[in-house]
Amino acid sequence: MLIDNEEGLCLMMEAVLVDNGYTVKTHTRSFEAVEAFAPGQWDLVISDIKMPGMDGLEVLQKIKAREPAVPVIMITAYATVEMSIQALRRGAYDMLTKPFEPEELLYRVKNALKHTELLEENRELREELVGKYRFDNIVGASAGLKAVLERVEKIAGRDTSVLITGESGTGKELIAQAIHYNSPRKDRKFIAINCGALPESILESELFGYKKGAFTGAAENRQGLLEAANGGTLFLDEAGNLPMNVQKTLLRFLQEQEFTRVGDTKPTRVDVRIISATNSDLKATIKAGTFREDLYYRLNVLNIHLPPLRERNADIPLLAAHFVSLQNRKFGTSIKGLSPEAMDQACRYSWPGNIRELKNVIEACMAMEDGDHIGQPVLSQFIEIPAREEEREATAEAVSEEGEYAKAISRFETEYLRGLLKKHGWNIEAAARDAGMNMATIYRKMKKYGIRRDSPS
């Protein structure tokens, strides 16, 4: 949208922009332009500042009130510092001073539209993230998972600390993301750190940052993750591994909403929600003296416990289908799922690595499978499949019966052959002819049963 009371300038700008592929609408009256402006309809507004009736600064203010994200370029023949500051304070994206060449106009327009594209991409990414972590996008239908999601939904809007417990691989970070992206903080950062993956000295500076000169190699001030997450959420995975000195600083933050960088003397205040997770028994670590009891109660204001996959048996087919679908999209394959036999075996496996193990096994099976479905022979290469109780009993019975039968056959053949050989004076050829057997068979069975001429009868 072009707004300028000088009709000639409007026509010139319109011609330049249209020649370069832009769709343009011009207005020479500011009141009409503001009345015609509708949110979502325009990618860019260019307005003169000096206009009769409603001036450009007022136009800018009214447009920004209707659509804050739309960029506005202001044109002026008198670009004073004060005027520029006013325009920028009211939300102008750029200032263009008359007279200007067509190339300069195009350069400013391209920059402004690039800004719009980035804003739109960010908006789409935020919507995608929120959609990805909606509660109904978490896969599963078991009673255990439904109870967890009901609790998560209640907790998400309450801006307080949450502790997520559960075995490794149960999806604790996914639940933490669901809490964040369904909370009032969803438009701000979600930052995660694995507290068990870094040495104590590095973990402290990663979380809280440091001041220049705090230690050898600290050449400049460094912002920590806690400060980087300001306004958003910090997820502390494996919080049971936090060193004591880090626990002390974190406790102060949870109490006062402020912390001190390594090597600094002045505290830093931030607004961050803490979500932590652990697969260890923190009460046991408190008794062992490696975890502060006061910090535990600060982190565990609200608790969510994730059941292991072996207690969510009904979710295995849904999760398997979900991971198959993800791999199909990623690699352009068309595996339809698990065969009935493979699914039956998967549902009877205990999955000690939980959802993470299931995901990895599905990926591995799809790399090896040649058919339309993941079959039991391929699945059994990656997991040790337990036999059913009735199958174990039948196998044991069959082995037992086979053992008795084999013993009976052995006794019969030994007695028969020994009697046959004695009858023919241990003449192998005659014995074979009489029995209708070849000599090689007689020799093989003699060796098998240890039958010799001098052996006892």
User: Per the structure block, which two tokens stand in for 232?
Assistant: 């958003």
- Return d(Cα 303, Cα 235) in angstroms, integer: 14
Q: How high is the pLDDT of residue 262?
A: 83
Q: How high is the pLDDT of residue 40?
A: 84
Helix ranges restricted to H, 191-230: 200-208, 225-228
- Return d(Cα 120, Cα 227) in angstroms, integer: 26
Q: Is 388 a domain residue?
A: no
Q: How high is the pLDDT of residue 457?
A: 47
Residue 77 has, within 13 A of its CA and on its CB side, a CA count of: 6
Please indicate, yes or no, whether residues 267 and 164 belong to a single structural domain of this protein: yes
**How distant, in Å, are the alpha carbons of 244, 403, 409, 412 from that of 400?**
60, 5, 14, 19
Asked which of 281, 307, 333 is the last residue of a domain, the reply is: 307
Please indicate, yes or no, whether residues 320 and 276 belong to a single structural domain of this protein: no
- Return d(Cα 54, Cα 77) in angstroms, integer: 17
Please indicate, yes or no, whether residues 351 and 441 belong to a single structural domain of this protein: no
CATH number at residue 35: 3.40.50.2300
Per-residue burial over 264-292, b if 16 or more Cβ lie within 10 Å, else e, is beeebebebbbbbbbbeebeebbeeeebb
Please indicate, yes or no, whether residues 442 and 303 belong to a single structural domain of this protein: no
- pTM recorded for the entire structure: 0.59
- Return d(Cα 63, Cα 70) in angstroms, integer: 8
Q: How high is the pLDDT of residue 395?
A: 47
Domain that holds residue 322: 310-379
Residue pair 293/247 in contact by the 8 Å Cβ criterion = no
Q: Is 85 a domain residue?
A: yes
Q: How high is the pLDDT of residue 30?
A: 92
Burial zone of 249 (CB within 10 Å; 0-12 exposed, 13-18 middle, 19+ buried) = middle
Q: Which segments of the chain have a pLDDT < 50? A: 390-391, 395, 399, 457
